[in-house]
Amino acid sequence: MKRPRKRHDGTAGPAERPADRLADRLAGRKVLVTGATGFVGEALLHRLLTQVPGVTIAVLVRPKGTDSGVSRIRALVQKPIFAAAVEAAGGVDQLLDGRIEVVEGSLSDPPTLPTDLDAVVHCAGDVSFDPPVDQAFATNVVGVRNLLRQVAEVGPQVHYVHISTAYVAGRRKGPVPEGPVDQSVDLAAELSWGTAQRDVVEQRSRDAGRLARLRRKAEKAHGRAGMLAAAQAVEEDRRAWVNEELVRAGTERARALGWTDCYTFTKALGERVVESHAEHSPVSIIRPSIIESALQTPHPGWIEGFKMAEPLILAYGRGELPEFPAAPDTIVDIVPVDHVVAAVVAVLAEPREPGRPEWFHVSSGARRPLTFRQLYGGVRDYFDRHPFELGDRGATRLPEWHFPGVQAVERLLVTSERAHKVADYLVDHAPRADRTRDLARKLDRQRGRLEFLRRYLDLYREYAQAELTFSDTNTLALYRRLTPQDQQDFCFDAAVIDWDHYLGEVHCPAVTEPLRQYDVVRRQRRASATNAPVPLTGEAVDGVAAFFDMDGTLLSSNVIETYLWMRLQEMGPSERFAELTRIAARVPGLVRAERRDRSAFLRSIYREYAGARMADLDEIADDILTSHVLSRVSPAAVRRVREHRAAGHRTVLITGAIRPLTRALRPLFDHIEAADLAVDDRGVCTGFLEASPLVGESRAAWLRHWAAEQGIDVARSFAYADSQSDLPLLEVVGHPVAVRPDTTLFRHARKRRWPIVDWSSPTVASRSLAPAGEYG
């Protein structure tokens, strides 16, 4: 049976009688919603399904990964807020069959729309305040234009409802009317410029000078891990620069033309596209202010994801937002999401004529203004009553805001950023130690806070200084035309909001609860976590190997120290003193060389063996150094090696140390890959190596090659190392472990959630450079 249709002028057809209630006026209509998987779109879908039962809803949704549009909507309506609608329909399948039509496609290339549409509500869009400029234009301008072309194909009778933002008003001050934005921007020129920027910036990013600067920086930071690691860092930095430059280009162009950011700029241009469509079809433009959690529907505090205020509220509650660049009497215009979608439903039910859009501000500043001082007071009061707990340290200490002004806040942040940069440099160059790693952990946490503050203060500075009042005359008149019952069921009058109640009993509890739950889980994980490597239990398995570094991992030693172990044994007292003095003078230069190029550093040390007899070095290693080396080996490391052997794993020592120094460790390993000193036909060391030392990427390459020859599955294998230069080795295997790592490896391991272990040498281990206690 064909459903009755409303006439475009809003009057009833011959067999219909005008109705006052919104549900009655919308009965029999079919509404297409875009952005149904987003915050506003989901709330609108819920409201239509639960409170406007006579409406059929089409949703334009794009596939995502392996999920089709249908499967995404099926998953959406299984959320708790849709339980009543699912139950009323008799199940998810019945709800989809009877009330929801899924139209698969995207705004970049919208599909043909259903031909029986009465209205389209465009909720989709890029809501980030700082998107790359090409992305913002593609979504907020080109996407709107593409959608309207398909709407026009359905027919001029379709009522198009466009969800914009009140902040299209830009950087002006004072009252903002519900009407077109006063602008003289060349839409075609800006659209052409914005969509072309990625190609332009990509070309600039490949400039030889810029690449040279990025390469020098990357080689300085990552060269110890190898040139391929540095090259990867160069490309990552280049891509990051492209993204930052696209964001900066959009922001600067927007502000040059009078908007706060690229988001409001492109939303304003999107309205221009919509205004052209209004010449031939009915159009309404709804401009919400800052949309936050629901006041009542679906339930108080309902929110999906973090919006504009949540990061700041949570940071303040954690004591990490010391000030904010706003004037205390400036209005922060917040509106609950259920007010926005209620206004959308009311707009859908209103008759609308082609020729000129109707604008509606859904905001609170004109009817129930909230100042930044009130917002601060409400949030502070909530956290005074319900503080975040910091483990054993008790409740978080809340900052006290004095609203010193933008410049003072900026100076405070800049000073903190400079101090952190100096501290970070010192920690990066400090000797490795537990204290150094603890300082690195604290500095990483502080860096995260500073980056958060910089991002959000830069992002929200314009909004914090926006002295705007959005007139809501049209919206209030629309509300007053509703029946008394609809004014309760579809309330969007901001005058009903009690900000103290909303902040303290609705919004703050809603946005903090997920974080509180996460904190509980995190504390439980910390209490039970050992940060230990994967346990080696069960039956022995084949095809698995465990690779161990030596210096700094198995035993507390370094190349200079082990060189002195070997050479001082051959020298008399005066020679020993002279050698120690000579090496001590070289240490600063050797340290710098090791940071620049570990291969060259090792070669320079091994040149010192020139003239030594290989047989003598082996004899020293066997007769004098064996007990000393074993005394320096970590007991925990030995236990781990034996666990691997008991599990049937091949154990491999891979080191840049010379082979004589590994002789004491032969019983622990199935294979030892070490540096071999080249000798002449008399068995005398030439000062050169038989092959390049295994460092950085060459270790990783050797591991892959050896594993392939031996039938080893690297994905199931293990590696243990202590230095940034070992990163390529660790990244090859499925089970990497950082052992008393240097600062760079420590940070990388924490980021990748690799196990970090402390294999300390025995406390009685000698640090003597004369292990046997005698010379000659």
Q: For 696-705, what is the mean pLDDT? A: 91
State what percent of residues in the chain have pLDDT above 90. Answer: 57
Among 397-411, 580-594, 717-731, the least confident range: 580-594
Two domains, one topology: 20-185+258-289+333-366+471-497 and 545-757: yes
Instruction: Evaluate whether 679 touches 207 at the Cβ level (below 8 Å).
Output: no
Instruction: Evaluate whether 372 touches 330 at the Cβ level (below 8 Å).
Output: yes
Fold that domain 545-757 belongs to in CATH: Rossmann fold (3.40.50)
Q: Given the structure tokens 């190898």, which residue do they identify?
A: 226
Which pLDDT tens digit goes with each residue over 299-311?
999 998 777 788 8
Grade residue 58 by pLDDT with cuts at 50, 70 and 90: very high
Among 513-522, 524-533, 604-613, the least confident range: 524-533
Q: Strands 685-689, 718-721: parallel, antiparallel or unpaired by DSSP?
A: unpaired
Residue 734 has pLDDT above 70, yes or no: yes
- 451: which 2 tokens? 């980056």
Among 187-196, 349-358, 395-404, 583-592, the least confident range: 583-592
Q: For 673-686, what is the mean pLDDT? A: 92
pLDDT at 19: 52
Grade residue 538 by pLDDT with cuts at 50, 70 and 90: low
- 7: which 2 tokens? 């006439």
- CATH class entry, domain 20-185+258-289+333-366+471-497: alpha beta
For 615-673, the DSSP string reads HHHHHHIIIIIHHHHHHHB-HHHHHHHHHHHHTT-EEEEEEEEEGGGGGGGGGG-SEEE
Instruction: Evaluate whether 222 touches 234 at the Cβ level (below 8 Å).
Output: no
Grade residue 763 by pLDDT with cuts at 50, 70 and 90: low
Distances (CA, A) of 110 to 270, 282, 428, 588: 17, 21, 52, 65
Please state, as a whole number, how many other Cβ atoms lie within 10 Å of the Cβ of residue 146. Answer: 18
DSSP 607: G
pLDDT at 593: 67
Q: How far is it, in rounded angstroms, from Cα 648 to Cα 402?
A: 65
Bridge partners (DSSP) of residue 56 are: 30
Per 3-state DSSP, what percentage of the chain is helix, strand, and coil (rounded to 5)?
55, 15, 35
pLDDT at 244: 95
Q: For 315-335, what is the mean pLDDT? A: 91
Grade residue 450 by pLDDT with cuts at 50, 70 and 90: confident
pLDDT at 775: 38
Residue 160 has pLDDT above 90, yes or no: yes
pLDDT at 214: 93
Q: For 662-684, what is the mean pLDDT? A: 92
Among 17-26, 369-378, 701-710, the least confident range: 17-26
Residue 147 has pLDDT above 90, yes or no: yes
**Average pLDDT taken over every residue of the chain:** 87
Among 39-43, 97-101, 166-170, 456-460, the least confident range: 456-460
Q: How far is it, in rounded angstroms, from Cα 618 to Cα 624?
A: 10
Residue 392 has pLDDT above 70, yes or no: no
For 88-146, the DSSP string reads HHTSHHHHHHHTEEEEE-BTTBPPPPPTT-SEEEE--S---SS--HHHHHIIIIIHHHH
Length of the chain: 776
Q: Given the structure tokens 């909530």, which residue do they identify?
A: 382
Q: For 637-661, what is the mean pLDDT? A: 91
Grade residue 774 by pLDDT with cuts at 50, 70 and 90: very low
Residue 508 has pLDDT above 60, yes or no: yes
Grade residue 391 by pLDDT with cuts at 50, 70 and 90: low
* Predicted model pTM: 0.79
Domain boundaries, the chain: 20-185+258-289+333-366+471-497, 198-256, 307-327+370-463+502-529, 545-757
Bridge partners (DSSP) of residue 551 are: 555
Which pLDDT tens digit goes with each residue over 274-288?
999 999 999 999 999
Q: How far is it, in rounded angstroms, from Cα 581 to Cα 578?
A: 5
Query: Which residue from 351, 359, 374 is spatially nearest to 471, judged by alpha carbons?
Result: 359
Residue 529 has pLDDT above 80, yes or no: no
pLDDT at 567: 66
The DSSP element (H or E) to which 86 belongs, if any, is helix 83-89
pLDDT at 6: 42
Query: Which residue from 589, 509, 464, 587 is spatially nearest to 299, judged by alpha carbons?
Result: 509
Grade residue 334 by pLDDT with cuts at 50, 70 and 90: very high
Q: For 473-486, what is the mean pLDDT? A: 96
State what percent of residues in the chain have pLDDT above 70. Answer: 90
Bridge partners (DSSP) of residue 756 are: 738
Query: Which residue from 51, 138, 61 is spatially nearest to 102, judged by alpha carbons?
Result: 61
Q: Given the structure tokens 């089970």, which residue do they identify?
A: 735
Q: How far is it, in rounded angstroms, from Cα 651 to Cα 644?
A: 7
pLDDT winner (highest mean) among 360-364, 386-390, 616-620, 697-701: 360-364
Residue 681 has pLDDT above 60, yes or no: yes
Residue 39 has pLDDT above 80, yes or no: yes
Q: For 482-498, what is the mean pLDDT? A: 96
- Residue 719: CB partners within 8 Å, gap ≥ 6? 546, 547, 548, 703, 726, 729, 730, 732, 733, 735, 736, 737
pLDDT at 771: 53
